[in-house]
Amino acid sequence: MILTDGLRSAVAAVRLWFSPARIREEGATPDYRFSLANERTFLAWLRTGLALVGGGFAVDQFLPRLHPGVRLAFTLVLLVGGALCALRAVNHWVRCERAMRRGEDLPVSRFPTALALAVGVLAVAVVVLVLLGWTG
């Protein structure tokens, strides 16, 4: 029952991604400056996702002498991170827009911290591999 309710809630949230007009039905229209700031944040997250995808392709193409398993792992982490950023962007945009319309506090997320830690660990790992000469 709980899983079903959670799944129903998740499906309803994803449906809002594709019907922003339904969001307008909730609450009062916020100050346009806040909606535009929310949109700029959304676009910044999309740029971050695209950068991660580009980094994944760069690791795959420009570190050919790296152990294939390590190269594949780095590539996949970056590509999956880029995909998660894009999904998180739209989800966060919808959640913030709904909160502003309802007069609620903006939602908080652990995603930025997790993303920063993952990118930092990956960057340190690449630096170590380069210093050890494992990248050719």
Residue 128 per-residue DSSP state = H
pLDDT in tens, 28-51: 999 999 999 999 999 999 999 999
- What pLDDT is recorded for position 116? 93
Q: How far apart are CA 135 and CA 131, in angstroms?
A: 9
Q: Rounded to an integer, what distance in angstroms lies between the CA atom of residue 92 and that of residue 63?
A: 34
Residue 78 lies in a domain: yes
In a domain, residue 136? The reply is: no
CB of 94 closer than 8 Å to CB of 16: yes
Tokens of 108: 């908080």
Count: domains in the chain: 1
**Is residue 69, in this structure, part of any structural domain at all?**
yes
Whether 40 is covered by a domain: the verdict is yes
Rounded to 5°, the CA angle 22-6-109 comes to 75
Nearest to 94 by CA among 37, 46, 42, 44: 42
HSE value, Cβ hemisphere, 13 Å, CA-based, for 15? 7
Contact between 58 and 71 under an 8 Å Cβ cutoff? The reply is no
Q: What is the pLDDT along the chain (136 residues), one digit of tens a residue?
A: 566 877 888 888 888 888 878 888 888 999 999 999 999 999 999 999 999 999 999 989 988 888 888 899 999 999 999 999 999 999 999 999 999 999 999 999 999 999 999 999 988 988 888 788 776 5
Structure-block tokens of residue 52: 């991660």
Domain that holds residue 27: 2-131
